[in-house]
Structures are given as C-alpha cells and as structure tokens.
C-alpha cells in the first residue's frame, strides 16, 4: 500500500513550493464563546442597527435575514494604478471551527467582506463577536445545507443583495461517528452526504453564474476535503475506509428505504458516510475544474488544512475520544493544527496571489508551507468524478 510521506511523517516533509503565510494575524482565542458576553439586547440592537445600515443596490426585499454590511465597493487595495474593491467571500459553516477561523483571518486583512452562511444566526453572531470581527466586515445569511429548499432560498437572497460573488468556500460539514441509524435531510438523503456533498453541490452549481458575472481578478471556488477520505495515507486507512463502490446507493437517493443510505449500497456507517462525502467533495472540485476552469478562469481547489482535533466536528463522538484525540494528534501523529492556523491556511487558498492553481488539492508541511498534494486513486478517478456529478445533479434537481 502506498502511504504518503506527508501523512506518516509530517515533520520530515519539506516541500516549499508556494508556502507563504498570508497576512499576519493577531494571536487571539477562537474558543470560549460566552453567552454572557453577548446579551440578547445587544444582539437585537445590533441586528436592527445593521438592518438600517443596509443599502442594497437593488431595492428588493431581503427575506428573513439580518445583514451587517459595509458599502459593497469599499476601496481596499491598490494594485498598480487600479483600486481594487473589497472581495466578497461566502463561507458556509462559519459559525465555528475552521469556517469561523477563516472568516476571522480574512476579516483581519481588511480586504474581504465575509458572508457567513450558517443555519444558526444567533450562534454565528456570537461567534463573530467572540473572535473580534468588525461589523463592517461581515454579513450573516441563513443557510441550512440539509435542505435544498434552503439552499435555493439562500441563493435567491444572495442574488437580491446585489453583491457580486468573488469566492465561495464550501466548508460546513457534519460527522456522525456514533450514530447507529442514519438521519436524513429534508429531501430524505442520508444526512452526512446530503449536507456535506449534495447541499454544497447544489449551492456551488447555482452560484457559478454569480461568480462568472463578478469582475474580481481572482475568482475561486473552494471545497474543503480531508486526508481521511484519501486511502493513499495512513489516516485514510483507519477503518472504516472511504469507498464509493458503484454508487448504487447514491443513484437510488440514499433514502434508506428502497435503497441503501450509503453511497456504495452497504450498511449505514456514520464515519464511512462522512469520509465518502469528502471523496465526493474532492471529486466535485476536479469535475468543476474540467468543465469550467478554461471558460470562466475561476480557480477550483480543495484542501486538507491539517487535523483540527478541537473543533465541533467531533461533538457527537464519545467523551473519551474527544479527550484523547487532541493529544494523540499533537504528540503521536503530529498532524494537529490549531483552529487559528487552519483558518490562516484556508484564508490563503481564498486570497493568496500565489495559490491560483486550479484543480488541485492543497496541503501544508510542518513549516506551514503549502504544497499541491496527491489525491488517492478513488479521489482522483475521472470517471467517478463524472458519475458523482451526473447522479448528484439529478438528485438535486438540476439535470
């Protein structure tokens, strides 16, 4: 079995290709979102205030969301003689973990307006405040990826806001390692693949036209992948392993009734469903690249930011796992990264001028230098990518 050096011995790996850390960031804790720090009154007044501040280029109503916007075209950077406006980036799942750390890192550069696309407005508002994001740097918009209706509504709402879309980051995910029975999305798809893959698949397909229309110089569509979906690594060989098989379950709609809830048609396994969903994420990124990069100039990329063993991703794991997993990753595998460091990495993929290569999967070595990593055979299989694209398109009602 071919195992990747990067996974086995991160400290011995030293490809310094394009690794420049992005804008310098202040040390600041990402933890400890305290309810008492953010009173309800505070929240309501800020929501009302930001609503007053909102000036849409189109005057159509924005249904059911609070917006905390800056004027869209704030000059932020001077490139040559041209003044570059602030970039607009949507980050799904920005209410915690990697998404929040990325939003914070981007906000601190002053060059980005972050649309935090989240299912829990209050949690997101508290999270943004807790990491010190300035109001003018973000907008919270409702998105529940476990409902295709919500995805479509989000896209409509975003279009109505009149903001151009420059970068889309598909980051949100759920992981159900201890579930014995599958749960399902609003449309009846198994929850992990339905949320992590199908919700994002519809979102990015629908947002592509928005991105095409943007005049931003470096447009990017980023889908977060993971090492555990790649069986060419040690981590990807910890059972249960990702495997899409012939995708008979996906073709049947993952409903657990007349078809399996698993992509490969097997018995439900929450950890495998998550890893399969990450394989779909990485395949989708490459299929986007093949179909659209040349015509649109958009950069399509995926990444493994490192093992961020402290995030909410493990909230459903047993307490003993949550206790031991961070030290295990820190001291034994040495694959651990803090939320802050992981956020800087994803922020680089969003905005670093040197990370414009399309169709690639980024990883970082022990010096936090980025390099183009190799995907497993399945996660780079061209036929599987096409099949995932076609079957998923039908499931979400696109083709």
The residues binding ligand PMR (CB under 6 A) are 7-8, 175, 177, 226-228, 234-235, 238, 271, 274-275, 307, 333, 335
Minimum CB distance to ligand LMG, residue 53 (Å) = 45
CB of 285 to ligand LMG, least distance (A): 22
All residues at 6 or more sequence positions from 320 whose CB lies less than 8 Å from its CB, including other chains = none
Angle at 279 between CA 278 and CA 285, to 5 degrees: 90
Which two tokens mark 136?
A: 């003018």
Choose among ligand PMR, ligand NDP, ligand LMG, none what residue 239 binds, the Cβ cut-off being 5 to 8 Å by kind: ligand LMG
Write the DSSP symbol of residue 72.
T
**Nearest approach, Cβ of residue 146 and ligand NDP (Å):** 4
Q: How many residues bind ligand LMG (CB under 6 A)?
A: 13
CA distances 30 to 96, 171, 244, 323, 373, Å, are 9, 17, 35, 18, 28
C-alpha 99/C-alpha 94 separation (Å) is 4
Q: Which is nearer to ligand LMG, 80 or 331 (CB)?
A: 331
By the rule CB under 6 A, 143 interacts with ligand NDP: yes
- Note whether 173 binds ligand NDP by CB under 6 A: yes
Q: CB nearer to ligand NDP: give 143 or 167.
A: 143
Q: Which of 5, 48, 257, 324 binds ligand LMG (CB under 6 A)?
A: 324
Q: Choose which of 25, 234, 369, 372 interacts with ligand LMG (CB under 6 A).
A: 234
Phi/psi for 113 (5° steps) reads -105, 125
Candidate list 85, 119, 163, 345; residue touching ligand NDP; CB under 6 A: 119
To ligand NDP, the closest distance from the beta carbon of 234 in angstroms equals 14
Tokens of 66: 């609070």
Q: How far is the CB of 237 from ligand LMG (least distance, A)?
A: 4
Least separation in angstroms between residue 225's CB and ligand LMG is 16
Distance CA 222, CA 231 (A): 21
Decide if 300 contacts 359 (C-beta within 8 A).
Answer: yes
What does 335 interact with, of ligand LMG, ligand NDP, ligand PMR, none (CB < 5 to 8 A by kind)?
ligand PMR
Run of H or E including 295? helix 270-296
Least spacing, CB of residue 263 vs ligand LMG, in Å: 16
Gap between the Cα atoms of 262 and 253, Å rounded: 9
Q: Counting every residue, how long is the chain?
A: 399
Contacts of 294 (CB under 8 A, 6+ apart): none
Q: Tell me 333's DSSP state.
A: I
Site string for ligand LMG, 168-187 (x = CB under 6 A): ---------xx---------
- Cα angle value 317/322/327 (rounded, 5°): 145
48 binds ligand LMG (CB under 6 A): no
Q: Which does 93 bind (CB under 5 to 8 A by kind): ligand PMR, ligand NDP, ligand LMG, none?
A: ligand NDP
Half-sphere exposure of 220 (CA within 13 A, CB side): 29
Quick note: the x/- pattern for ligand NDP over 46-85, rule CB under 6 A, is ----------------------------------------
The answer to whether residues 279 and 361 touch, using CB atoms and an 8 Å cutoff, is no
- Please state the closest distance from residue 151 (CB atom) to ligand PMR, in A: 22
Q: Among residues 47 and 265, whose Cβ is nearest to ligand NDP?
A: 47
For the bound state, the minimum distance from the C-beta of residue 304 to ligand NDP, rounded and expressed in Å, comes to 6
Cα–Cα dist 283/383, whole Å: 10
Coil vs helix vs strand at 31: coil
Question: Is residue 285 at the binding interface for ligand NDP, with CB under 6 A as the rule?
Answer: no
Rounded to an integer, what distance in angstroms lies between the CA atom of residue 287 and that of residue 59? 36
Span interacting with ligand LMG, options 128-136, 196-204, 215-223, 317-325, rule CB under 6 A: 317-325
Burial 245-282 (b: 16+ CB within 10 A, else e): bebebbbbbbbbeeebbbbbbbebbbbbbbbbbbbbbb
Which residues in this chain contact ligand NDP in the complex, by CB under 6 A? 92-93, 95-99, 118-120, 123, 143-146, 171-174, 195, 224, 226, 304-305, 307-309, 311-313
Which residues in this chain contact ligand LMG in the complex, by CB under 6 A? 177-178, 234, 237-239, 271, 321, 324-325, 327-328, 331
């Amino acid at each position: 079995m071919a195992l990747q050096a990067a996974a086995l011995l991160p400290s011995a790996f030293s490809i310094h290709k394009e690794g420049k850390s992005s804008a310098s960031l202040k040390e600041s804790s990402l933890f400890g979102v305290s309810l008492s720090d953010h009173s309800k009154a505070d929240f309501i007044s800020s929501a009302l205030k930001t609503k007053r501040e909102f000036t849409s280029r189109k005057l159509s109503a924005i249904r059911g969301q609070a917006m905390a916007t800056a004027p869209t075209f704030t000059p932020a950077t001077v490139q040559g003689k041209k003044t570059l406006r602030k970039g607009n980036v949507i980050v799904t799942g920005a209410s915690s973990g990697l998404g929040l750390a990325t939003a914070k890192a981007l906000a601190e550069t002053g060059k980005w307006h972050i649309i935090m696309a989240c299912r829990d407005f209050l949690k997101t508002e508290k999270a943004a405040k807790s990491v010190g994001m300035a109001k003018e740097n973000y907008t919270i918009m409702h998105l529940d990826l476990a409902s295709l209706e919500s995805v479509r509504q989000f896209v409509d709402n975003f279009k109505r806001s009149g903001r151009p879309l420059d970068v889309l980051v598909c980051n949100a995910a759920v992981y159900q390692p201890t579930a014995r029975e599958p749960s399902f999305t609003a449309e009846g798809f198994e929850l992990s693949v339905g949320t992590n893959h199908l919700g994002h698949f519809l979102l990015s397909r629908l947002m592509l036209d928005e991105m095409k229309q943007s005049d931003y110089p470096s447009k990017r569509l980023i889908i977060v992948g993971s090492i555990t979906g790649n069986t060419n690594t040690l981590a990807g060989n910890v059972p249960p392993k990702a495997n899409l098989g012939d995708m008979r379950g996906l073709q049947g709609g993952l409903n657990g009734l007349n078809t399996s809830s698993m992509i490969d048609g097997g018995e439900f396994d929450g950890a495998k469903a998550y890893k399969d969903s990450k394989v779909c994420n990485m395949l989708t990124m490459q299929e986007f690249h093949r179909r659209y990069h040349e015509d649109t100039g958009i950069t399509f990329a995926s990444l493994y930011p490192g093992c961020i063993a402290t995030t909410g991703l493990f909230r459903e794991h047993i307490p003993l796992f949550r206790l031991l997993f961070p030290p295990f990753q820190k001291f034994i595998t040495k694959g651990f990264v803090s939320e802050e460091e992981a956020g800087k990495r994803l922020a680089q993929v969003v905005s670093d001028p040197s990370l414009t290569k399309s169709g690639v999967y980024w990883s970082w070595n022990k010096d936090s230098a980025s390099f183009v990593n190799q995907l497993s055979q399945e996660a780079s299989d061209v036929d599987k990518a096409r099949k995932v694209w076609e079957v998923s398109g039908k499931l979400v009602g696109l083709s």
